[in-house]
Amino acid sequence: MIGRLNHVAIAVPDLAAATAQYAGTLGASVRPPQDEPDHGVTVVFIDLPNTKIELLYPLGENSPIQGFLDKNPSGGIHHICYEVDDILAARDRLQAAGARVLGSGEPKIGAHGKPVLFLHPKDFNGCLIELEQA
């Protein structure tokens, strides 16, 4: 059901410093910051030959990333994102298997302009999983 790894998301306490580190120290191709108000984050995508890294920074007072950073002040891996061919079919299959979909269960539009869903980390070995329709 899951396809290619789309990205690994890392919550960061200082977006400018993290962006500079990836661009300068690691020599990566870094896109400009992009605000995602529906998700409460500012994102920066780093393009790699085989996937992407997504830097996450809180946007607004109710950002879920702020809660993560409060518990992990240095930042850290927040979630991994897999592509699926049909997000609704994937949701239905996962729910039938007992997996919990976060939020309303209806896909939202993610940072790539495609439908996304998040799966409860307690159902996946402590890892928050994002599914994105390919």
The residues that are catalytic are 130
Q: Rounded to an integer, what distance in angstroms lies between the CA atom of residue 49 and that of residue 91?
A: 29
Q: Rounded to an integer, what distance in angstroms lies between the CA atom of residue 84 and that of residue 93?
A: 12
- What the block records as the tokens of 66 is 């702020």
Place of tokens 């995508």: 45
- What the block records as the tokens of 102 is 């976060």
1, 11, 62, 64, 73 from 48: Cα distances, Å: 24, 18, 30, 26, 26
Q: Rounded to an integer, what distance in angstroms lies between the CA atom of residue 42 and that of residue 66?
A: 11
